[in-house]
Chains A and B, each alone.
Chain A
Amino acid sequence: MPTEPVIEIKGLTKYYGDVVGVKDLDLEVRKGEVFGFLGPNGAGKTTTIRVLMDFIRRSSGDVKLMGLDPETAPDDVQARIGYLPGEVGHYGGMTGRRFLRYLMDLRGIDCWERVEVLAERLDLDMSKRVKDYSKGNKQKLNLVQTFMHEPDLYILDEPTSGLDPLMQQEFYKLVMEEKTKGATVFMSSHVLAEVEHVCDRVGILKDGHMVALESMASLKDKTGKVLDVEFGPGVNVTVDMFDIEGVRGVKVHDHSLRMTVIGKVDPVIKRLAQYDVASMSFQPFSLEHLFLEMYGAEDIDDIKMNGSEENNGSGPNDSKDGLSDRDKGGARL
């Protein structure tokens, strides 16, 4: 049974001068949903989020959050949002405690108990000054401020980027808990693997346009894992060595093969076993691969993946396979 819409975006367009930030964006996120807002850097994710937060104003279109227009009733909307910016600025001279209390005070509420619970849970020392915090502690601080007031809607801009694997797990747990409580989560990312654990649905943004809107379940059917194999010197490596159902996009490079495994892994492993394998790695499917798969683009360049260099397709090293090898498995197709 579909629940009420929490985020309603219709024909949202934002120009920066002549440059398009987002164009004709339509999107609806319902209560209790965890929505992954995907796209390469520069696709317009942050633009959309900043319009939702009323930091910037749309050129045209309609936006409603929980039934309210953030542009006309920003404060009522913001009271019900937990927001995590892509880059968080801190008052370095404050202690973590004072920083959190300040943000709490500005909300005009008392949720200090929850702050303490979260800090304990994330193992955050609130007595230190923020500028003396390690990167990890700053991230914990950011998470506490996002989740402390138990809002109805979470708007998270690249929440997982730069989180260490442990923190990432903790973050996913927090998101799932909030979802259970009935909160709605809208999170952006440029790496599919970072959101696939928690998202019910994802939308993919490219050059300011929404190019795909899929439930995670149907997306998983279309995606798989990327397998890199380096063979021993005696092996004659060809494209049709792995002509198996569920294997796609096989590419040869010297003595290495790269392929996308969508179906079962077993026949691939059996086939591999017939050859002299020097090394191999399994990686989660990246957004870049998804583009290649879904849109049949020949090359990364064709789809202008601005973020592809630095993120180069590999997810964080928390791959369940335990095989991921970033250096080797970099998705430089």
Chain B
Amino acid sequence: MKIPFKLFVMERTLREPIKGMLIFCLIILFIGWGVVAMFPTWSESQGEALSEVGSEFMSVKELDKDNGTYEVAWMSLNDTLPFMPQDMLLEFFDNYSLTESSNSSMLDEQEVYRGNRTQIVLDGRTGGPYFYQLYILFEDPGNGQVMQYPFRNVSTEDIGKKTGLESFENLMDNPAYKAYAGGADIDIYSLKGFMVTEFFGFVPLMVGVYIAYLVAGVVSKEIEDKTADLVLATPLSRERFLIEKYIAMMMLALVIVGTMALSLYLGVVYIDTNEMTGGDILASTFIFYPLAMVIAGYSLILSVLFDEQKKAMGASLGVFLFTYALHLGSNISESLEGLKPYIPYHYANYQETLASGSMDAGDAGVLIAAGIVLFGIALYLFRKKEIYL
């Protein structure tokens, strides 16, 4: 018996989904490029949106309770009043006076800061509460006198309330955002932060769904269409058949992950930024390849178990979405935290990878090992499978 050297089944398996793949990759290319390309505009519009928050733009943060250390911050008027000409703002408004009082009436207010900073740290404020009033200082163009205009106020009692600028900082502590940010310290206003929510939040989900869908069909479709009968009636072994199918799928996954990387790279070149390097892009996209191995692994098992393509696809999408939901859940809810080690997605921490620019070899190793084990199970099941007409 001669065994063909060429991987005919693999070739065949690659040929089948080629049109769909092409469209899918084009979509990813467009999304990745588009999201990056959108960033500069988005970034600017965020500034404007913030300024519209207006009265709620001032915040107090407790830095050290024992020493009574607080940080008082406010948004620069430059950002707050963008409708004013920039030079006027600088001339008249970018000068602040901050007063403090232990009484909300501010009757005994004391100035604690005067200058053009927008953030100061105060020590020894034990007890409290403390109230702060921010004044804008400007020269009267008529007589040259310094005027002060009461602008915003805030108190230590406001700590924890989501107001103005602070609400975005609070967002970082928000469980839902945490789930997206994966615990990584990524500035939401940076390109990477933007990519976390706008690209990595859903493109890998799309990719996962697509791989689960593709792989679930590779065996079940042949059984359902009865083409498996003729193929397996040849001296080609079942193991060889499945291995070639798996290789084909992993090649497609490689193309998809490569397309993700390419799309981001094109975007970065387009907006000409160095906020995200080629290394960041490669690391944060290729961490999904080991994850794809796992998704392909269990999808292949389901493809072997189900004789109908639709059922296999349904089951495989179900497993994928379930593990994804668990992943999000485990980031939000502490009671699900214990599940983390068992959720494949947990080992593809794109936020951390994007922040650090390097892949965690241990995480990738876990996924690759799991992928190989799952494929082994699929192989075992397929060897034992009874194929009915």
The chain A residues found within 8 Å of chain B, CB to CB, are: 46, 50, 53, 55-57, 74-76, 78-79, 81, 83, 85-91, 93, 102-103, 105-109, 145
Give chain B residues whose Cβ lies under 8 Å from the Cβ of A109.
2
Contact B1 A76 (CB under 8 A): yes
Give chain A residues whose Cβ lies under 8 Å from the Cβ of B2.
108-109
Contact B237 A75 (CB under 8 A): yes
Instruction: Indicate whether B233 reaches chain A with its CB closer than 8 angstroms.
Output: yes
A93 to B19, CA, bound (A): 13
Contact A102 B8 (CB under 8 A): yes
Contact A74 B226 (CB under 8 A): no
A90 to B233, CA, bound (A): 14
A53 to B222, CA, bound (A): 17
Contact A56 B387 (CB under 8 A): yes
Give chain B residues whose Cβ lies under 8 Å from the Cβ of A81.
233
Question: Could you jot down 22 A-B contacts, CB within 8 Å?
Answer: A46-B389, A55-B386, A55-B387, A57-B386, A75-B235, A75-B237, A76-B1, A76-B235, A79-B234, A83-B229, A83-B230, A86-B389, A87-B389, A88-B229, A89-B229, A91-B225, A103-B231, A103-B234, A105-B4, A106-B8, A107-B235, A108-B1
Say whether, besides A88-B226, A89-B227, A108-B4, A102 and B12 are in contact (CB < 8 Å): yes
Q: Which residue of A lies closest to B230 (CB)?
A: A103
Contact A75 B1 (CB under 8 A): yes
With A74-B238, A91-B225 known, 16 other A-B pairs at CB within 8 A are A50-B389, A55-B387, A56-B387, A56-B388, A75-B237, A83-B230, A88-B226, A88-B230, A89-B229, A91-B227, A102-B8, A103-B231, A105-B8, A106-B231, A108-B235, A109-B2
Instruction: Indicate whether B9 reaches chain A with its CB closer than 8 angstroms.
Output: yes
Instruction: Indicate whether B3 reaches chain A with its CB closer than 8 angstroms.
Output: yes
Instruction: Indicate whether B305 reaches chain A with its CB closer than 8 angstroms.
Output: no
- Pairs of residues from A and B, 5 with the lowest C-beta to C-beta distance, nearest first: A89-B226, A108-B2, A79-B235, A108-B4, A106-B234
Interface centre among A55, A74, A76 (most CB of B within 10 A): A55
Q: Which residue of A lies closest to B237 (CB)?
A: A75
Contact A79 B1 (CB under 8 A): yes
Contact A89 B228 (CB under 8 A): yes
A75 to B235, CA, bound (A): 4
Q: Which residue of A lies closest to B231 (CB)?
A: A106
A46 to B389, CA, bound (A): 9
Total A-B pairs in contact (CB under 8 Å)?
Answer: 85
Say which size band chain B's interface belongs to: 20 to 34
Instruction: Indicate whether B236 reaches chain A with its CB closer than 8 angstroms.
Output: yes
User: Contacting B388 at CB < 8 Å: which of A50, A78, A79, A91?
Assistant: A50
Give chain A residues whose Cβ lies under 8 Å from the Cβ of B1.
75-76, 79, 108
1/0 per residue, CB under 8 A from A, across B280-291: the answer is 000000000000
Q: Which residue of B lies closest to A55 (CB)?
A: B387
Least CB distance from B135 to A in Å reads 76
Q: Which of B234-260 contact A (CB under 8 A)?
A: 234-238
Contact A78 B227 (CB under 8 A): no
A108 to B240, CA, bound (A): 13
A162 to B89, CA, bound (A): 89
A102 to B222, CA, bound (A): 14
A107 to B388, CA, bound (A): 22
Give chain B residues whose Cβ lies under 8 Å from the Cβ of A57.
384, 386
Contact A55 B230 (CB under 8 A): no
Least CB distance from A305 to B in Å reads 21
Give chain A residues whose Cβ lies under 8 Å from the Cβ of B233.
53, 78, 81, 83, 85
Say whether, besides A85-B230, A102-B12, A103-B230, A56 and B386 are in contact (CB < 8 Å): yes
A90 to B389, CA, bound (A): 14
Q: Which residue of B lies closest to A93 (CB)?
A: B16
Q: Which of B1-49 contact A (CB under 8 A)?
A: 1-4, 6, 8-9, 12, 16
Least CB distance from A188 to B in Å reads 12
Q: Which residue of A lies closest to B233 (CB)?
A: A83
Give chain B residues whose Cβ lies under 8 Å from the Cβ of A93.
16
A42 to B307, CA, bound (A): 20
Give chain B residues whose Cβ lies under 8 Å from the Cβ of A145.
230
Instruction: Indicate whether B121 reaches chain A with its CB closer than 8 angstroms.
Output: no
Contact A50 B6 (CB under 8 A): no
Contact A106 B389 (CB under 8 A): no
Instruction: Indicate whether B232 reaches chain A with its CB closer than 8 angstroms.
Output: yes
Q: Which residue of B lies closest to A76 (CB)?
A: B1
Give chain B residues whose Cβ lies under 8 Å from the Cβ of A88.
226, 229-230
Least CB distance from B231 to A in Å reads 6
Give chain B residues whose Cβ lies under 8 Å from the Cβ of A83.
229-230, 233
User: Contacting B226 at CB < 8 Å: which of A50, A56, A87, A108?
Assistant: A87
Q: Which residue of B lies closest to A91 (CB)?
A: B227
Q: Which residue of B lies closest to A104 (CB)?
A: B234
Give chain B residues whose Cβ lies under 8 Å from the Cβ of A46.
389
Q: Which residue of A lies closest to B386 (CB)?
A: A56
User: Contacting B9 at CB < 8 Å: which of A75, A79, A90, A106?
Assistant: A106
Contact A90 B227 (CB under 8 A): yes
Give chain A residues whose Cβ lies under 8 Å from the Cβ of B225.
89-91
A304 to B226, CA, bound (A): 29
Say whether, besides A75-B236, A79-B1, A105 and B6 are in contact (CB < 8 Å): yes
Give chain A residues whose Cβ lies under 8 Å from the Cβ of B228.
89
Interface centre among A46, A107, A108, A145 (most CB of B within 10 A): A108
A11 to B279, CA, bound (A): 66
Least CB distance from A157 to B in Å reads 8
